[in-house]
């Protein structure tokens, strides 16, 4: 808990000192503890803190007992979100010393419960950055009410340390301004070709249709679960091919990735950073030939690009889904002033703490590490108070000592 207190003490308290009855740091620490114990709003946090008042008073030496739910709400409305985000990112950078070579996924997420429907308001969006190789959140930017993700993504890239990292974004991020920003900051990218970009999309489809001939189907017929091939067409042009086959959710799935480093046929000079292009074919027993194309600013083996493409979905499955299912973010109606952004940061702090809590990891008989789910970890925090205390006073300090990736 001391490390959390140190972190939050850096926040400047702008409240009027004459009416101040509760310590700002204590309020935020109690909020973190509450959310780790399944609280979803300020009323929940108040009820949790009130039930644990003796414990919090012993650990924090409270000034005037437990703040009301209105006080919790008002504090989160006035905290400067940029300052709070800086503290969050400094905390992450203190834990993760080296990001070079790692994949950073950027994606937007709606918080639908916070929509002001009575005035036909826009759905609030938070654009988040996720460090795929470790599985934690590393930054966020709220999309301005009169803007969209295209303007928010460069803002997020500006505050992130992406030197030596590979950035993946949905097709909305395949913009020359975003590509320029990534390269300028020392990163690289793997981005999908936009389907509504009729010129470039048609050009890409035509190139692969002309280059990949009928014999390609024959050389990719196999029962191997994984294989690397080289395909040479009648013009002598070489393509790297990587294939995976698996049975998941009761269906067979085959993924074929075809990479070329020939980009001279791209007519538009705005794609100056592109070094290779990948065609990704997905065949299942449900449908055939779902095809997407990807631009890459780095010419690496097709197998590596394939893994980068597959990893991109981690932010949906491992971050956004968890925030909605276990933190109830999508149902949150909190939206006034800075409360939405600040509470989103607190949820991500809690998410990262849970992800970095490795006490429950076990090695199975095959030598693989089996991790306890977020849901079960949170259940243990609720049901076993001693394990929760250990998290605050032992696990979090150890994160700084041991997890310097």
Q: 286 pLDDT exceeds 80? A: no
Give the phi and the psi of residue 296 in degrees, each rounded to 5: -130, 135
Residue 287 has pLDDT above 70, yes or no: no
Q: Give the model's pLDDT for residue 118.
A: 41
Q: What is the pLDDT of residues 140-175, one digit of tens each?
A: 999 886 678 899 999 999 999 999 999 999 999 999
Kindly give the residue spans of alpha helices, DSSP state H, lying in 312-395: 314, 321-325, 339-356, 374-383, 385-390
With bands split at pLDDT 50, 70 and 90, how would you rate the model's confidence at 220?
confident
pLDDT per position as a tens digit, 82-128: 999 999 999 998 888 776 779 999 999 988 765 654 445 678 889 99
Confidence of residue 248 (pLDDT cuts 50, 70, 90): confident
- Give, in order, the Cα–Cα distances in Å from 99 to each of 297, 305, 349: 18, 18, 19
3-state DSSP: the chain helix, strand, coil percent, rounded to 5?
A: 45, 20, 35
- Per the CB < 8 A criterion, the answer to whether 172 and 195 are in contact is no
Q: What are 328-339's pLDDT values in tens digits?
A: 998 887 878 899
What's the rounded Cα separation, in Å, for the pair 278 and 293?
6
Q: Which residues, in sequence order, are bridge partners of residue 279?
A: 258, 293
Total count of domains within the chain? 1
Residue 405 in this model has a pLDDT that exceeds 50: no
For 404, the token pair is 């310097």
386 pLDDT higher than 90 = yes
pLDDT recorded at residue 96: 83
The pLDDT of residue 402: 57
Average pLDDT over residues 18-29: 92
| Beta-bridge mates of residue 260 | 277
Question: Does any domain span residue 234?
Answer: yes
DSSP letter for 368, please: P
For residues 70 and 364, the model is more confident at 70
pLDDT band at 272 (very low <50, low <70, confident <90, very high): very high
Per-residue pLDDT, averaged over 256-283, amounts to 92
Residue 287 located in a structural domain: yes
Q: What is the dihedral of CA 73, 30, 353, 35, to 10 degrees?
A: -50
Average pLDDT, the chain: 90
- What number of H helices and E strands is found in the chain? 17, 12
Q: Within a domain: residue 31?
A: no
8 A C-beta contact, residue 276 and residue 262: no
Q: Is residue 19 part of a domain?
A: no
Nearest Cα residue to 110 out of 326, 293, 344: 344
- pLDDT, position 278: 97
Does a structural domain hold residue 211?
A: yes
Q: How many CB atoms lie within 10 A of CB 97?
A: 9
What proportion of the chain, given as a percentage, has pLDDT over 70?
Answer: 94
Name which of 372, 353, 329 is nearest 128 in CA terms. 329
- Backbone phi, psi, residue 188, to 5°: -130, 170
Q: Sign of the CA dihedral 139, 145, 148, 154?
A: negative
Structural domain harbouring 245:
198-302
* Average pLDDT estimate for 303-317: 96
Which positions ≥6 away from 187 have C-beta within 8 Å? 104, 162, 163, 164, 165, 166, 167
Tell me the pairing of strands 362-363 and 290-296.
unpaired
Question: Residue 298 falls within a domain, yes or no?
Answer: yes
Distance CA 263, CA 225 (A): 30
Is 272 a domain residue? yes
pLDDT at 403 over 50: yes
Asked if 196 and 172 touch (Cβ cutoff 8 Å), the reply is: no
Provide the percentage of residues in the chain whose pLDDT is more than 90: 69
pLDDT at 210 over 80: yes
Tell me which residue of 14, 72, 5 sits closest to 339, measured CA to CA. Answer: 72
Residue 347 has pLDDT above 60, yes or no: yes
**DSSP letters spanning 391-402:** IIIIIHHHHHHH
Higher local confidence (pLDDT), 169 or 253: 169
User: In 10 A of CB 110, how many CB atoms?
Assistant: 17
Q: Has residue 221 been placed in a domain?
A: yes
Q: Sorting pLDDT into bands at 50, 70 and 90, what band is 400?
A: low
Mean pLDDT of 380-393: 96
Q: What is the mean pLDDT of residues 253-276?
A: 92
Q: Give the model confidence (pLDDT) of 186-207 as tens digits.
A: 999 999 998 776 778 889 999 9
DSSP assignment letter at 113: G
How many Cβ atoms from other residues are within 10 Å of residue 202's Cβ?
10
């Amino acid at each position: 808990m001391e490390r959390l207190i140190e972190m939050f003490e850096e926040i400047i308290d702008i409240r009027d000192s004459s009416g101040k009855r509760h310590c700002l740091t204590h309020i935020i620490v109690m909020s973190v503890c509450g959310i780790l114990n399944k609280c979803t709003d300020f009323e929940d946090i108040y009820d949790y803190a009130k039930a644990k008042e003796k414990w919090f008073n012993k650990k924090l030496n409270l000034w005037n007992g437990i703040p009301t739910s209105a006080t919790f709400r008002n504090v989160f409305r006035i905290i400067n979100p940029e300052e709070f985000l800086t503290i969050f990112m400094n905390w992450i950078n203190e834990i993760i010393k080296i990001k070079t070579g790692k994949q950073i996924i950027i994606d937007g997420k709606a918080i639908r419960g916070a929509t002001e429907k009575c005035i036909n308001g826009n759905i609030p969006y938070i654009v988040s950055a996720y460090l795929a190789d470790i599985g934690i959140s590393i930054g966020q930017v709220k999309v301005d009410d009169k803007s969209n993700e295209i303007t928010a993504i460069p803002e997020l890239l500006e505050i992130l340390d992406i030197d030596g990292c590979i950035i993946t974004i949905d097709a909305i991020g395949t913009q020359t301004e975003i590509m320029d920003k990534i390269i300028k900051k020392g990163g690289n990218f793997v981005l999908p070709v936009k389907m509504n970009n009729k010129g470039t999309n048609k050009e890409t489809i035509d190139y692969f249709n002309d280059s990949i001939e009928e014999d390609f189907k024959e050389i990719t017929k196999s029962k191997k679960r994984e294989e690397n091939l080289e395909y040479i067409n009648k013009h002598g042009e070489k393509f790297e091919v990587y294939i995976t086959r698996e049975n998941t959710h009761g269906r067979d799935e085959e993924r074929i990735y075809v990479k070329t480093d020939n980009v001279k046929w791209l007519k538009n000079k705005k794609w100056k950073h592109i070094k290779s292009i990948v065609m990704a074919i997905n065949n299942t027993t449900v449908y055939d030939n779902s095809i997407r194309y990807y631009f890459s600013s780095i010419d690496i083996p097709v197998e590596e690009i394939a893994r980068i493409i597959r990893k991109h979905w981690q932010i949906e499955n491992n971050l956004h889904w968890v925030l909605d299912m276990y933190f109830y973010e999508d149902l949150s109606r909190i939206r006034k002033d800075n409360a939405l952004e600040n509470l989103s940061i607190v949820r991500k702090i809690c998410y990262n703490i849970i992800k970095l809590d490795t006490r429950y990891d076990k090695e199975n008989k095959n030598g693989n590490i089996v991790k306890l789910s977020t849901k079960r970890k949170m259940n243990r925090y609720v049901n076993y108070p001693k394990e929760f205390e250990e998290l605050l006073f032992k696990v979090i300090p150890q994160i700084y000592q041991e997890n310097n990736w």
